[in-house]
Amino acid sequence: MADSIPLNEAKTRLSELVRRVEGGEEIVIRRGPTPVVRLVREPSGAILPPGSVEGVSGHLAEDFDAPLPEFAPYLGDASA
């Protein structure tokens, strides 16, 4: 079970709590008796920003935003 601490205590011990979470613990922060936040470690496979992986690139075709022929009837194109 996760350790539960009051919000005012969490504010003064945040650095310590982050170290504990990095070590695998889960911490529940509560306002009075009510749990409001759970601190958990960010997964190591976090989403990376585009362009951050060396050797991996993306490509968009020239017509990537062209209308698809099968949608012509819905777009009012009578030539389809």
Scanning the structure block, which residue is given the tokens 């009075």? 32
Look up the CATH superfamily of 1-41: YefM-like domain (3.40.1620.10)
Bridge partners for 74 per DSSP: none
Q: What does the block give as tokens for 35? A: 């749990």
Q: What does the block give as tokens for 2? A: 């996760």
**Exposed e or buried b for every residue in 34-51, given b needs 16+ CB within 10 A?**
eeeeebeeeeeeeeeeee
Task: Provide the Cα torsion 60, 65, 66, 69; round to 10°.
Answer: 100
Cβ atoms within 10 Å, residue 17: 19
Residue 55 has pLDDT above 80, yes or no: no
Q: Is the pTM of this model over 0.75?
A: no
What are 27-53's pLDDT values in tens digits? Answer: 999 999 999 999 999 877 667 777 777
